[in-house]
Amino acid sequence: MAEGQPVLFARVWRLVSSPEDVPALRPVSGPPPLFPEQPAPPMAGAFAGGYIEATEWRFREGESWDSRGPGAGWARPRIPLIAGEAGSPLTRALIVADSSWAVGFELDYTTRLVMNTDLTVSLHRDPASEWMCVRTAWAASPRGSGLAAGQLDDEHGDCGRILQTILIARR
């Protein structure tokens, strides 16, 4: 709290697992294969330290943060969220999910101010691997805001969805 004012609000729901006889429903295709190892992808004008440096990202050949249009990237944190604690697949998924909006940049963030203002992650199963794939597309309209909608996959396939509201303004 800053001078008695809330600065962050978080809500987490954890539901009991569904019965084993529930069929696996898969409305979308599986993720692309894990992209090959590559140097850190560029992000024009961004501070490359901190979060960007602490997470290993792999994009399709020829793509990076600076690519426009719906995007896909595989990622894994390089360091644990809490020093000295082993990260879980769930923790890794949430760390990576926060970048969904940037994976799918469809507006030039160097000429407009674009900022994610929230994060909603809904999982239909627990993530179960080191690498997470984020596939994201944007929607935006004049006199409105942006919306980044993403799918979250692990190395075993679809495990959830990501939704982020995007502030879009003039610089």
Q: How far apart are CA 14 and CA 138, in angstroms?
A: 28
For residue 127, give both structure tokens.
């993530």
pLDDT surpassing 90 at residue 111? no
- pLDDT tier, 25 (very low <50, low <70, confident <90, very high otherwise): low
pLDDT of residue 136: 95
Most confident of 3-7, 30-34, 121-125: 121-125
What secondary structure letter does DSSP report for 156? T
pLDDT surpassing 60 at residue 1? no
Closest to 43 in 3D by CA, of 133, 94, 118, 110: 110
pLDDT of residue 107: 87
Q: What are phi and psi of 93, to 5 degrees?
A: -60, -45
Question: What's the whole-number mean pLDDT along residues 123-151?
Answer: 93
- The dihedral sign for the CA sequence 99, 7, 161, 15: positive
- Which domains does the chain show, CATH number per domain? 50-170 (2.40.160.210)
**What is the per-residue pLDDT across 50-82, written as a single tens digit (0 to 9) for each?**
888 889 999 998 888 888 989 999 999 998 888
